[in-house]
């Protein structure tokens, strides 16, 4: 998968609820993945934003 490298650190956003409250889990077997503290999403797929103004508003959750 070709992905253009952003210059700065991208802002990671949960793909499920658009929260930025993600923590990084580095498992030896499972590999890298993220855990969302807001909706409990766990997975390696997260959204990355260079520009904070492009982040969609957080979804209602629960
Ligand atoms: Zn979430």
In a domain, 18, yes or no: yes
Contact (CB, 8 A) for 61 and 29: no
Mean of pLDDT values over 12-16: 96
pLDDT tens per residue, range 19-49: 999 998 877 776 778 999 999 999 989 999 9
In a domain, 37, yes or no: yes
Surrounding residues of ion ligand 1, Cβ less than 5 A:
14, 16-17, 19, 36, 38-39, 41
pLDDT of 53 > 90? The answer is yes
In a domain, 33, yes or no: yes
What's the 49 CA to ligand 1 centre distance in angstroms?
Answer: 15
Secondary structure E strands in 1-62:
11-13, 22-27, 31-36, 42-43, 47-49
In a domain, 62, yes or no: no
Q: What is the mean pLDDT of the chain?
A: 86
What's the 18 CA to ligand 1 centre distance in angstroms?
Answer: 6
In a domain, 48, yes or no: yes
pLDDT of 4 > 70? The answer is no
Pairwise CA distance, residues 44 & 54, whole Å: 21
List the domain range (segments joined by +) for residue 19: 11-54
SS3 25: strand
What's the 17 CA to ligand 1 centre distance in angstroms?
Answer: 4
- How many domains, the chain? 1
Nearest C-alpha neighbor of 61 from the set 12, 24, 21, 25: 21
pTM for this predicted structure: 0.75
In a domain, 3, yes or no: no
């Amino acid at each position: 998968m070709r992905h253009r490298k952003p210059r700065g650190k991208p802002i990671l956003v949960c793909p499920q609820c658009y929260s930025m409250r993600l923590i990084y889990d580095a498992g030896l077997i499972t590999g890298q993945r993220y855990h969302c503290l807001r909706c409990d999403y766990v997975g390696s797929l997260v959204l990355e934003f260079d520009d904070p103004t492009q982040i969609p508003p957080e979804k209602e959750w629960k």
